[in-house]
Structure 1
């Protein structure tokens, strides 16, 4: 049985601007990080200085053998005030795209990855009826100015607040909520992760549709989609109806709205088992990752099958990863997840790419810098990059387009040492 992937399969890794660039001081997340007390464990600060090191970092990705890079364009940098667009920021992101193309790497920009300009948040964020047109205007401007990309994502994990908001609201009360809203100058509902259900399903879906059309108007051949957070929903005996209700609440309405897009971005990390008592948790006694999720790489293939059966739409796996310090387990997780994806493809599921989350250990939102998802580590004191063995594992899979290398494979030329430092002389 072959273990090769389809010709043209996209192999790469992903990041998000706020989590890696550093200094995103005009964003809603930045002011929330600096509230006292803060709902964030620590501020993002310089992050991993990707703004200045982009070119060097892409060179590392390319040297690993990966051929696609999903990164986000920061709206707060592009449009710092309403209707005022930064030529310097636009030019920066064009240089980012060029840096990818010069190294044979396919750039896959995401136009919204959780953060927005502070002025957007102070006018309600997604709760505002103005949000869809504002977002589409920004996307149209960026798409008109930038060139060289064949895939694009509009909004990252558009459905995430549908199942995260209730937990977040419960955890943020009293002084935390008061400080956050004072810093934000608005209700916490205006920060994407706290968006109410009705805002996601009305303004969020409309914003995606308008943005998709705006991008495609400038780049008719570009494949445009949104990404969704979809975990593998299973059920113990007797709880199947509860599982189906969770699927309907958290995924199905968005899937139905996106099924005619060029692709759906699937982002899966774990599974949840619906219980008869109304809870949904990982398997009891099962290993957990650093972030607390069940270590269950088989979840990815299951969600791809679910999405394809419901929509028939092409799928790009835009995020999947393992958080922890045991890099041997990270390598195993990647291989096990991809084995399941390979079986799904053989069964007819139209999966066109795999982008690992994440290229670097970075800033994981409320959890700060503790969770380690990266293929490449980063020294927080020096910004030195340290390539992990898991990066070489995924790179070899990508270069061979297969889970099993052929008997004779030329030794890849990787022009880095395992603990190479990326110098701050990139393209910022």
Structure 2
């Protein structure tokens, strides 16, 4: 392994989502999913990491690891438990968390929507309903006015493509529908909601004179799509089609207000609707006809996803060339129950970023600590910090210590390579 350096102004930290770590909330769509026993391991987001109660201890943990930035989510259902009824206690809780992190020198990026909906919103169709844009805008306005100077950086919506495809194409997530038309209707409304929220956040913060440079964007899930058979015309065509349908069209709509196939037309003035370009990157997909699979003989993680670090560089360069915005890696991480190859994963992906000329400014590792990983429940371990769900004890993993040293050193030294990587186990190889 070779040492490498990162830019001195390159900021590093972790990302989390409210439903996945907070516990306790019983008014959201994923709690409903848990009650229906639809989580693979039978667990429930009502437990998670009990972060809503333990946020002070977790802030201490982040500070001890040297995190420079932290992406945190808000629970929509806590803040607006009924339509038009806002919970002052919940917003004060989040304001206290923001103050605490600020005191510890950790810059916070707030996510307004991360997969979960209040049940009243879910029951009216959520983002399948045209009224969702107005509802999301009202929620956004309340949050931004309440936070004021405490937060100047926002992710409006996390992974609208994953939310739409898993919930409305495959029916594996709430609301368990299987409709291609509904999938793209949801993507379209989420893009419209993002644009409305983007304009609103800028307008409010400017009019009120809130402190800090306003930075607003979105965080889509991106993959490198390739043909399974490199010379097969159908595989090539389908890879291009999936790239467009899953990530290209919705990104153009959210970044530029450019609505086209397969989202359908929407009369909207073209413009710039992101101040940074958020990239959630995990893996590469190989298209064998219309089968979404992975290339054989490649290293994979515990969920069977290919480990392809070069993809993070390729996508960063592609999106900078197209959208001309600074790149923030808003999520990147891997499922590794034994923490056998996570340090190597971090090394490989950060090294790839160190070799690009694209202006990659930030890296948020997914995730800080083991959490409720949606359909997988508590069984999928993504954390730099291990969590014992029975006791809620947090233990920094070897990979977490490695990550912490990278932040401190702004890179990886030869000594760190020897100590953390030379004995690292290889990821599984998919036959």
TM range (shorter): 0.7 to 0.9
Contact 1:32/1:40 (8 A) holds in 2? no
| Secondary structure, aligned partner of 1:83 | coil
Deviation at 1:361, TM superposition (A): 0.5
Contact 1:255-1:311 at 8 Å conserved across structures: no
The TM-score with structure 1 as length reference comes to 0.84
2:334 matched to 1:322? yes
Instruction: Tell me the secondary structure at the aligned position of residue 90 of structure 1.
Output: helix
Distance 2:99 2:384 in 1: 23
- Among 270, 275, 281, the alignment partner of 2:283 is 270
Q: What does residue 157 of structure 1 align with?
A: 159
Superposition pairs of residues 17-56 of structure 1, within 5 angstroms: 17-35=18-36, 41-56=42-57
Of 193, 216, 229, the residue aligned with 1:207 is 193
**Contact 1:40–1:365 under 8 Å retained in 2:** no
Counterpart check, 1:237 vs 2:231: yes
Deviation per CA, 1:208-228, whole angstroms, max 9, x where unpaired? 111112222233431000000
Show CA shifts across 1:252-278 (max 9, x none): 112222333101210111111223x33
1:298 has 2:310 as partner? yes
Deviation string 1:297-339 (CA, Å, 9 cap, x unpaired) is 2222222222223222221101000101232410000010111
Most deviating of 37-46 and 262-271: 37-46
Among 311, 315, 320, which residue is 2:323 paired with? 311
Q: Summarize the Cα distance change of 1:195–1:372 in structure 2 as closer, same or farther, 3 Å threshold.
A: farther
1:76 is matched with which residue?
77
Residues paired across the two proteins, number: 387
Q: What are the Cα deviations for residues 31-84 of structure 1, in whole angstroms up to 9, with x where unaligned?
A: 121025667843222211100111111111111111111110111000101111
Q: Which moved more, 1:1-10 or 1:54-63?
A: 1-10
1:241 deviation in Å? 2.2
- 1:182-209 deviation digits (Å, cap 9, x = unpaired): xxxxx6459xx99932323321111111
Distance 1:48 1:352 in 2: 29
Distance 2:216 2:82 in 1: 26
Q: For 2:287 and 2:326, how far apart are their aligned partners in 1?
A: 28
Please, what TM-score do these two structures have when normalized by structure 2?
0.84
Instruction: Select which of 196, 207, 217 maps to 2:203.
Output: 217
Contact 2:164 2:184 in 1 (8 A): no
- 1:165, distance to aligned residue in structure 2 (A): 4.5
User: Deviation at 1:406?
Assistant: 9.6
**Structure 2 counterpart of 1:254:** 250
Could you tell me which runs of 5 or more consecutive residues in structure 1 were left unpaired when the two chains were aligned: 173-179, 181-186, 408-428
- Equivalents in 2 of 1:24, 1:382: separation in Å? 19
- Relative to structure 1, the CA distance from residue 394 to residue 151 in structure 2 (aligned partners, 3 Å threshold; closer, same or farther) is same
Shift of 1:405: 7.3
Matches for 1:343-422 after TM superposition, within 5 Å? 343-344=355-356, 347=357, 349-404=358-413
Match of 1:426 in 2: none
* Alpha carbons of structure 1 residues 231 and 38: separation in structure 2 relative to 1, 3 Å: closer
Range moving further from structure 2, 2-11 or 328-337? 2-11
Q: Secondary structure at the match of 2:5?
A: coil
CA-atom RMSD in angstroms = 2.5
User: Distance between the aligned counterparts of 2:291 and 2:318, measured in 1?
Assistant: 21
Once the two structures are TM-superposed, the CA of residue 392 in structure 1 deviates from its matched residue by 1.4
State the match for 1:168 in structure 2.
170
CA distance in 2, matches of 1:381, 1:151: 34
* Larger displacement relative to structure 2 (223-232 or 279-288): 279-288
Is the 1:360–1:375 contact (alpha carbons within 8 Å) kept by the matching residues of 2? yes
Which residue of the partner structure matches residue 421 of structure 2?
none
* Change in CA separation of 1:212 and 1:37 when aligned onto 2, cut-off 3 Å: closer
Q: Find the aligned partners of 2:21 and 2:38 in 1 and give their Cα distance.
A: 23
Separation of aligned partners in 2, 1:37 and 1:151: 34
Is residue 135 of structure 1 aligned with residue 121 of structure 2? no
Change (3 A) 1:195 1:63: farther
Q: 2:168, 2:176 within 8 Å by CA — same for their partners in 1?
A: no
| Structure with greater proportional strand content | 2
